Structure 1
Amino acid sequence: MPNAVAVRVLTVPEVLRPWLSGVRTLSLSDAERTEEPFVRLPAAVTKVVLRVTAGGRRDVLAVGPRVRASYHEGKTRLQCVELRLAPGTTRPLLGVAAAELAGRAVPLEELPGAMPRRLAAALRGLDPHDPLPRLAGTLPGPLSDAADPARTALLRAGVDALSVRPDRTPARVGEAARELAVSERQLRKLFTEGVGVSPKHYTRIDRVRTIVTRAGDAPWSQLAAVTGYFDQSHMTSDFRALMGVPPRSYFTGRLPSLTPCQARG
């Protein structure tokens, strides 16, 4: 299987949940170096990443949504702390709409305003093995002080409606707009600003990531149904478009050509 990097998913403290939807650490030491590739999955989320290089250099990057997977050589020593920003928090924290960061990794200090610089300075001192104790004091106060609460709540309700859940299939974009009493155009604007991709592309990314997570738990046809696809061929087509190879190739290690990992781009 791809990704031999050691990953720890941490529980987000209550005080940080208005701002963060997830925190995880990634590491690959010299002793753990492997020929296995490192796969960056498509991701409909903006992240702030502390990246510690082999030489000890610390970079704090804003990493925008990624609409396609990329495959990299798994030999580079690294340590990272990834903070997944909750929908609607990119502009209050980073000073730009999420769509402006799509497909990019930018040093935090290069973003406009004082907040990204203050955040970069604070995050650079995190312990990559145990980042939570210092995180609580690095983010601003209540989200309502920096963002429109009603607009943020509407966006997050849209994200929830379009996401795969264990107890239901995700809504179609038109269905979600009707449930939220907004037009599809308004919903697209909300997602572009606060998530960085359109509602339609968000659903594609979320479904493909679910396939990656749940593969092997059920037959392909059943997995296609519970993730909201019309049929297995529809699922395979989406998976190939976003992952570069069909599901069977991915899970048997027949991957696209590998490229060196880049800190930014």
Structure 2
Amino acid sequence: MVPVPPALRRYVAARIPYDVDFGAAGTHRGLPSTTLTFVLPLDDPLRVSWAGRPASLHAAWASLSGLHTEPAEIHHDGTQRGVQLALTLEGARVLLGRPAAALSGALTDLDEAEVPRALRELPERLHSVPSWAGRVALVDRTLAALAARAGDPAPRAEVAHALSLLTSGTRVEAAAAEVGYSRRRLGSLVREECGVTPKAYQRIARLEAARGLLGRRPLAEVAARCGYADQAHLTREWTTLAGCSPTTWLREEFPFLQDPDRPGGAGSGHD
């Protein structure tokens, strides 16, 4: 996989070309994340809804969603191809021309989101490119041109620092004190930037960290490493935010893996 160009890494946390054969039609679970999700499908419009809320189904040739605290369902006919990007909070301002809070909890497309014209034209341009290398290069060029224009200013430095502290597990009160704000003031600024409360952001960040370890470490160790009180706490939080337990998520994502808490299972492997 070609890495994100250095000039874009402040704005794009990940850029993933995908070509997946699921074997049969179904749905794929989209978990909450501290980044915005921007998907450019190739074969058919992407159909996505909030889990358990079929009336929220949205179909588009480019899907954009902000931070959220519930799982999404990506509907597919058995195969999917396209390019998925994870945009940082600064990336939302610079590339989309608006703070991430404007898209919090939304499942929308580029026209509804009122993003720059270069992004709105990207899906059609992408369909005319025959190779994966060419598609990725087109996405990178488009984003680099937008970044060069320097859209909205970056998030306030103290808010960015507070979010970094929250991601590392610092309590909300301590993060507020570190950046010189009251808890209430910090809460207002974080909601203005992200669209979620500091506590919700921290829960999402903790889920994201745990996701990177699931299947590689026993659940009790994942819970301890990621700041959960214990394994039961991890399971409760995953059920709330992801709509399933960690073990269920592992079975859905990696059906060939063994039980991560059994001897010899996936959780006993090495990094």
Q: TM-score, normalised by structure 1?
A: 0.73
Within a 5 Å distance, the mapping from 1:217-236 to structure 2 comes to 217-236=216-235
Residue 50 of structure 1 is matched in structure 2 by 40
Equivalent of 2:167, from 163, 170, 181? 163
In 2, Cα distance between the equivalents of 1:211 and 1:148? 31
Residue 28 of structure 2 is matched in structure 1 by 38
Secondary structure at the residue paired with 1:80?
strand
Secondary structure at the residue paired with 1:25?
strand
Secondary structure at the residue paired with 1:67?
coil
Calculate the aligned-residue CA RMSD, in Å: 3.2
Within a 5 Å distance, the mapping from 1:73-222 to structure 2 comes to 75-112=77-114, 115-126=115-126, 127=129, 129-130=132-133, 131-139=135-143, 140-142=146-148, 145-149=150-154, 151-164=155-168, 170-222=169-221
The alpha carbon displacement at 1:227 in A equals: 0.8
Matched, 1:21 2:13: yes
Tell whether the 8 Å contact from 2:101 to 2:194 is kept in structure 1 after alignment.
yes
Count of matched residue positions in the alignment of Structure 1 and Structure 2:
235
Amino acid at match of 1:42: P
In 1, Cα distance between the equivalents of 2:63 and 2:27? 22
CA deviations on 1:12-60 (whole Å, 9 max, x unpaired) are 101112322221122225xx53477522112232232212234999822
In 2, Cα distance between the equivalents of 1:124 and 1:155? 36
Q: 1:200–1:135: structure 2 CA closer, same or farther, 3 Å change rule?
A: same
Q: 1:154–1:229: structure 2 CA closer, same or farther, 3 Å change rule?
A: same
Secondary structure at the residue paired with 1:18?
coil
Tell whether the 8 Å contact from 1:33 to 1:75 is kept in structure 2 after alignment.
no
Unaligned runs of 5+ in 1: 1-7, 165-169, 254-265
In 2, Cα distance between the equivalents of 1:211 and 1:44? 13
The alpha carbon displacement at 1:74 in A equals: 5.3
Matched, 1:69 2:71: yes
Unaligned runs of 5+ in 2: 47-58, 253-271
Between Structure 1 and Structure 2, the one with more helix by share is 2
* Structure 1 stretches of at least 4 aligned residues deviating more than 6 Å after TM superposition: 55-58
In 2, Cα distance between the equivalents of 1:35 and 1:109? 28
Within a 5 Å distance, the mapping from 1:222-261 to structure 2 comes to 222-252=221-251
Q: 1:22–1:152: structure 2 CA closer, same or farther, 3 Å change rule?
A: farther
The alpha carbon displacement at 1:214 in A equals: 1.1
Amino acid at match of 1:59: W
Tell whether the 8 Å contact from 1:91 to 1:97 is kept in structure 2 after alignment.
yes
